[in-house]
Chain A
Amino acid sequence: NAGVTQTPKFRVLKTGQSMTLLCAQDMNHEYMYWYRQDPGMGLRLIHYSVGEGTTAKGEVPDGYNVSRLKKQNFLLGLESAAPSQTSVYFCASSPHRGRKEKLFFGSGTQLSVL
C-alpha cells in the first residue's frame, strides 16, 4: 500500500534552473497539497487542489506553479529556482469525506538550490 509517493527524494539545482516535483497518491483522495518545511518555520502551504483540474494558492505560492491533470497526481514546478527555495517539500492528500485536516503525507523531497 504505497499511499503518497514523492519523486525525486533529493535534488540539487543551480540558481535559475527549473524542475518539477511529482506527487502520486493511490488512495483516490480528492484533496492534495504541497507544503514546504524550513528550520524554525514549521510546514507552510504552497498550493493545494480540491479536485482534478483545480488548483489554488496557499500561504507561500510565489515562485511555484502546480498542475493537477489527473486525480492521482499533483505536480509542483519551479520555473527559475532561487536559493530561498532550498527546503524540504512535502506532498499530502486527504479524502473528500470526513475531516479533511487529517492529511496523509509523502516522505518528502530535499531540494538544495546553489
Chain B
Amino acid sequence: DQQVKQNSPSLSVQEGRISILNCDYTNSMFDYFLWYKKYPAEGPTFLISISSIKDKNEDGRFTVFLNKSAKHLSLHIVPSQPGDSAVYFCAASPPNAGGTSYGKLTFGQGTILTVHP
C-alpha cells in the first residue's frame, strides 16, 4: 500500500514557465513533508520542506503548498530553468516526538521534470 503517491511519472515545461509537481498521501499521522531532487547518477538532495502546522513554505524559486484536509502537497518552481530538469521525490515523516521518527521517510515514486529551453 503506497502511502505517498506521485501520480504523474513525468512533466514537461517550457523554460520560464511554472512547474507544478503534485503529491498525495494517505497516512494522516504524517506531520513533516519534504521534496528531494535527484540528477542521474547522483543521490537525492534535499530541496525544501514543510511542517504540517503550515500551509506554505518558500525558498527562492521553490514553494511548497500543503493541503492537510485533502492530504495533498505540491511543489511550484517559478520560473523553471533547464537546470531544474531532474527527478523530484516527495517524502513524508511521522511525528518526531522524542526523536522516535529517527528520520525514517516514506517516499513517493518520483516525477521526472524536463524543462525545455
Given that A101-B32, A102-B34 are known contacts, is A41 also in contact with B109, CB under 8 Å in the complex?
yes
User: In whole angstroms, what is the CA distance A42 to B36 when docked?
Assistant: 11
Do B44 and A48 touch across chains, with their CB atoms under 8 A apart?
A: no
Q: B43 near A108 (CB under 8 angstroms)?
A: yes
CA distance A46 to B10 in the complex (A): 26
Contact of B89 among A31, A43, A107, A108 (CB under 8 A): A43
Q: Chain A contact residues (Cβ within 8 angstroms of B): what range?
A: 20 to 34
Instruction: List the one stretch of B59-67, B68-76, B95-103 in contact with chain A.
Output: B95-103
- Quick check: A100 and B102 within 8 Å, CB to CB? yes
- B108 near A42 (CB under 8 angstroms)? yes
Looking at B96, B103, B109, the one whose CB has the most chain A CB atoms below 10 A away is: B103
A42, A90, A100: which contacts B109 (Cβ < 8 A)?
A: A42
B107 and A43 form a contact (CB under 8 A): yes
Q: Judging by beta carbons under 8 Å apart, are B32 and A31 in contact?
A: no
- Asked if B101 and A42 make an inter-chain contact with CB atoms under 8 angstroms apart, the answer reads no
Question: Is the CB–CB distance between A50 and B43 below 8 Å?
Answer: no
Residue of B nearest to A105 (CB): B43
Looking at the assembled complex, report how far the CB atom of A88 sits from the nearest CB atom of chain B, in whole angstroms: 10
B103 and A101: CB pair below 8 A? Answer: yes
- Interface check A58, CB cutoff 8 A: yes
Does the CB pair B34–A106 fall under 8 Å? Answer: no
Q: Could you say which residues of chain A place their CB within 8 Å of the CB of B101?
A: 100-101
Closest to B110 in A: A42
Contacts of A58 in B (CB 8 A): 104
A74 within 8 A of B: no
- Chain A, range 44-74, C-beta contacts under 8 Å to B: 44-45, 48, 50, 56, 58-59
**Other-chain contact of A31, B6, B43, B102, B107 (Cβ < 8 Å):** B102
Rounded to whole angstroms, the CA-CA distance of A44 and B92 in the bound complex is 12
B27 within 8 A of A: no
